[in-house]
Amino acid sequence: MTLWFLARAAGFTALLGATVAICLGAWTSGAAVGSHAGRRQTRLLTQLAHRSAAVVTLALLALHAVLLVIDAHVAISVPGALVPFTAGYRALAVGAGTIAAYCLLVVAAVGALRGRLTGSDRAVRWWRPVHAMAYAVWPLSIAHGLWAGTDSQTWWAWTLYGGSSVAVIWAVLARLTSEERHLATPLAAARQQLATTGRRP
């Protein structure tokens, strides 16, 4: 049972890491964070923390999957862990976790290549929608935890799920509000028109 306990601990810790990464990413990408030159250093530090949290989350997810595969307490094989909805243990729930992990891998890869993609206008246009897949990771992860976790009915698990969900929702709403305020400024409106029509207002 030791491996089972460690696998569950890695899964819950990965959820916390994903929460931190998503919240920092939403805050960093908000217009208000970088709207003043004096906040540039804060923005850079926040981006570094965001990327570090994402890397730690991926490492914890890998540990979570490996421990589940080698543990005899549940019937999860390597193919069952890699191919969604084929695991012998709660296939739907494990499949949701597998898809969430794949989405996070794609997001991390695109984020790591961001500097190289800036040379292509097409890549720049596609970068943000692909990176936004991180938000799809969240409901899939919660569903995976609720359906597959043996601790889902405990008060502390509900506290973790609820608190993390509130944090993510708040961060996303704060980002959207910040973007609306930014786009309402005359300079942002002019830039938007120039990017859309190619003509100055």
| pLDDT attached to residue 184 | 55
Q: For residues 177 and 134, give the distance between their C-alpha atoms in angstroms, rounded to a whole number.
A: 19
H/E run at residue 121 = helix 121-131
Two structure tokens written together for 86:
């084929």
Least confident range of 27-31, 82-86, 124-128, 146-150: 27-31
Two structure tokens written together for 108:
């991390």
Would the pTM of this model clear 0.85, i.e. be above it? Answer: no
Q: What is the pLDDT of residues 133-160, one digit of tens each?
A: 888 888 999 999 999 988 888 999 999 9
| pLDDT attached to residue 39 | 65
pLDDT band at 124 (very low <50, low <70, confident <90, very high): low
| pLDDT attached to residue 198 | 47
Q: What is the pLDDT of residues 163-195, one digit of tens each?
A: 999 999 998 888 888 766 655 555 445 555 545
| pLDDT attached to residue 108 | 86
Average pLDDT, rounded, for the chain: 82
Two structure tokens written together for 201:
């207002």
| pLDDT attached to residue 33 | 46
Tokens 């100055």 found at = 200
Number of H helices, E strands in the chain: 9, 0
Give the Cβ contact number of residue 122 at 10 Å. Answer: 8
